[in-house]
Structure 1
Amino acid sequence: MAGKSKILFIGGTGYIGKFIVEASAKAGHDTYVLVTESTFSNPTKVKLIDTFKSFGVTFLHGDLYDHESLVKAIKQVDVVISIVGHAVLADQVNIIAAIKEAGNVKRFFPSEFGNDVDRLHTVEPAKTIFNTKIQIRRAVEAEGIPFTYVANFYCADFFLPNLAQPGPVIGPSAGPPKDKVIILGDGNAKGEENWKEYMYQGNKFSTTYKKPRFH
């Protein structure tokens, strides 16, 4: 991408977001992170906030559920990158509406950072999550917003701690299975994994592509 961008991250203090925010700042982009007032008093975020400040990150007060604050923040940037967690994926329609009203965004990255959901055949609970991502993709396209979908495969360190077992809790907090391990298929299927720390290596955020760009 020629020159530097003004990039707003929504969900930038989360599991993957913190690495991409750091990469953006270190790459010389004007880097903004949308935060709520409570973020600054959250003991689990204090150190991260201080680290971001040392990188020159600008914090914009706003909320995913406050349309006016979203529009105000988005009007200050060129690129919006959503890295919200799976629990609020569907609520990205609020970001889409704000981008549409702001009218200045050159590129929107909805929260993906996994598999190419348009080309998968999955079972629950992943199926529901992926269907939500598909719905968000279609909503972005319907509004005519320039977009990029980042498909970098699963983060191994998110799923390996519990051996990718289905259940009400997924990720590292689920812990390893105690009784049995469910293996889908014949056990010989091959896949490709990634690590959250590697996300930042793709820090040249495109502002020129008009079609999906898969990584």
Structure 2
Amino acid sequence: MSQPFDTLVAVAAPLVRDNIDTDAIIPSREMTAVSKQGLGVGLFASLRYVAIGSRAPRPDFVLNQPAYAGAELLLGGDNFGCGSSREHAAWALADYGFRAVIAPSFNPIFRGNCVRNGIVPIVLPRDAIETIAADVSPDPQARRVTIDLPHQTVRTAAGVEWTFEIDGEAKAMLVAGLDAIDLTLTHRDAIASFRAVDAERRPWAYPPRAGDTA
């Protein structure tokens, strides 16, 4: 399970570049463990650090700027999350602390990986994203952006608001903090009922397991 998502008031970090692929989000050399934890340090490593293998920050990269410290919302460009299907990209974003990404479009596999890991992928027009970036730039810490997932709105500190679309299953998972397995288990009673009926109809499909009593 992930952290349930209701309303977020967040520092928004602009990285409004098109075609940011999953290797840019988390380079393969940074995928040194199978755990979801610890990947945040490798997030955007090629853009964030001065050289491969270094942890010396590039001062001009947005996530290294004190004004954007603690950012939980990332503003991206078209086709965000394209490239390979590595779920580590979503893991790295979540481990860093991002709760949502706003972009004009997402790679569908990346979008699904975000939902399964508690990150809200929000599609807004590019001009809306540029408006948000301009609104926060004078003081990102003070001019935070509000995301209301139940009402599907994004609002700037200036009060400019947009609505966004999200499919019902993805919204339900994010609001409740469920992954795909958790979502399936919300139907456990129906599953058990089906299995009981099916076992009567097709007993050969349910061989006895170790520990079962006759």
Give the alignment's TM-score, normalised by structure 1: 0.33
Larger RCO (CA within 8 A; separation ≥ 6): 2
Give the alignment's TM-score, normalised by structure 2: 0.33
Q: Report the structure number with the largest CA radius of gyration.
A: 2
